[in-house]
Amino acid sequence: MKITQHDFPTLHRFPVHWGDMDSAQHVNNLVYLRWAETARVLYFKAMGVNTRFAPGDTGAILAYQDCKYTFPMTYPDTALVGVRTVEVNEDRFTLETAIFSEHHNRLAAITRQVIVPYDYGALRKAPMPDAWREGIRRADAPEPARDK
């Protein structure tokens, strides 16, 4: 199945900086993960997940991630980054993040991240909050249906 920009309710724009490139003259692999991380935090905010928590709070923790690089981006360009939930389980959910090259109008990387609710006071996994399930539905809703 081909992934396109239209598969994501929101795209975030990140300019490619000259310093994002490595000695091979393409965007360093770590930069793609930073873009995915920033888009993931914005997705959490769209879900209503508090990203600044204190001991005793339940927060999201990254349990796993991978990244498949499909096209080497270079400066100048703009990364268009979309996030969506692709699976919800009892104790975790899986995000998919796609990074597109605006200049070349194509997919540059695709990532998956497993997110686990975590009790930062007890230092262990927590049950999936019902509010997160509703937040996922909200965050993945098409743009016109979203709460502004």
pLDDT of residue 89: 96
pLDDT of residue 147: 43
Instruction: Kindly report, residue by residue over 16-68, the tens digit of the pLDDT.
Output: 999 999 999 999 999 999 999 999 999 999 999 988 877 778 999 999 999 99
Q: Was domain 5-122 assigned CATH 3.10.129.10?
A: yes
Single out the residue of 81, 80, 108, 106 nearest to residue 95, CA to CA.
81
pLDDT of residue 144: 57
Backbone angle region of 107, left / alpha / beta, with phi > 0 → left and psi within -120 to 50 → alpha: beta
Kindly tell me if the per-residue pLDDT of 145 is higher than 50. no
Instruction: Kindly report, residue by residue over 80-110, the tens digit of the pLDDT.
Output: 999 999 999 999 999 999 999 999 999 999 9
pLDDT of residue 148: 39
Q: Could you give the CA distance from residue 22 to residue 140 in angstroms, rounded to a whole number?
A: 34
Tell me the domain boundaries of the chain. 5-122
Kindly tell me if the per-residue pLDDT of 123 is higher than 70. yes
DSSP for residue 129: P
pTM for the full predicted model: 0.92
